[in-house]
Structure 1
Amino acid sequence: MALLVDWALVFAVTTLLLLPFLRPDETGVRLAGAPLTFTTCKNVTSLPQHLLDLVAPETVARATLCEVRPFGIYNGRDLTMVYALKETSSRSGDEDSIVSRTRTTSTSRILTVALGADDQVIQVITPQNVAIPLVLIILSAVFIARSGQTPGKRLAGLRVQGQGCAMCREVRRLGLFVLFGGISMATGLLSKDMITGAAQVPVWLVLIFGLVLFTAFVAVYIWPLIRWRGAMPYDRATGFEVVRAI
């Protein structure tokens, strides 16, 4: 709860600072990490050739164009294309059986790109993906060094106490979010040629990459809660502990 409160406060501040530069269809600058987003989508029956070329030689089975509005603020348009659609049918039951079942299995791939005002693919810049965890690291370290409480921990009635390095604690605690945010922001900066290449990346390679990120998240944040040892690893490593505020 404490982290969610602190995260929401930092999101609000960075959003206000980013609003003057928010031009999704022109510069590609977008908001990221909004907890409340309104999305309006419509099916697209005809696509221009330059968009079809992104998944060539595969064909697009269906496409959806969505307009995204976090907190009602226009945040650009995304086109999602489903391609490489393959259907296989299998029949169960004996040939002489009166009752038989036919099972159809579908497999496909999905590619989502950002579109500008002229329906051209544009690069997306989401500074908040990295800015939010970075600002949170710095501000949390300052609050802990001075009073032992961030606004979220104060609201939750908690206090961080110890004589260790507050900045080291926050880097250990939130550093993985900076990495995840950097990867997310980097994917939005892919050029059109790189997007075309990414559309042909083997599925197993994507799954392995996702599994590595998921494993890292579980190892840092979930597993220590399952095998509880009195404190999170980043607290023990930096000489801190979280206690009830008196």
Structure 2
Amino acid sequence: MRHHPNLPSPPPRDWTVLTLMLLLLVLVVASFAALPLKWRDFFTLDAVNGTIELLQGFAPPDLSIGFVTKTAWATVETLAMSALGTLLAVLAGLAFSLPASGRFGKAARGGTRSLLNVLRSIPELVWASILLIAAGLGPFGGTLALAAHTAGVLGRLFADSLENAAPLPEQSLRTNGASAMSAFFYATLPQTLPQMLSYTLYRWENNIRAAAILGVVGAGGLGQMLKYHLSLFQMQKAATVILAMLLLVALVDAISFAMRRALTR
């Protein structure tokens, strides 16, 4: 089609999105080509029979009073680990978010964000393996592991929330003579607080699942019970522990959902 001389020229086409989509497609294809995925072996009759036989070993769960009571105490321990680990992470994340948001200069921002990257790039299981050496076996090391990883995640999210907050309310208070701390607590923090609470609840849900897994390396709770009974092939007892995990995750998800709905009203 011939371009009319009086009409503006069309903007040049941006190939960035198309290039990224092509690179993503190449990455997906390369991933399937590199991994030895044996789909046929997965759906063979022997694999199906073996899976059914394994699942039959879990039924019925061990519902004896003594074991259910023991599982209930381990459930409380797992819940306490996740709650305390999340609380410590929130406090550390708030402390890290101030320099990471650029309030103390570019050097402090870059250094703090590098530290947050290190904290969250190390998985909870690795943190637990390291901290259990220093703190010993039990829930204390698992709680610190959850706090260390989650502090890196929440610190970054909190810092981004502070950076994206509207600066005008805080600037107006500073112009009218308010101190920097007062302007922050009365103008910027109320803007970001609902988002920070939403991030905290979401990470608490994740930490429930992580706390149940950390017991595999000796951090206590339901995970330690599950590893113990599976290693002894006590499948019915393991089934009870798995059911407790599912109930705990469902309970925390429901509480978190209700709290998020209350925050958005």
Fold agreement, TM-score > 0.5 = no
Larger radius of gyration: 2
Which structure ranks higher in relative contact order (CA pairs < 8 Å, sequence separation ≥ 6)? Answer: 2
When normalised by structure 1's length, the TM-score is: 0.30
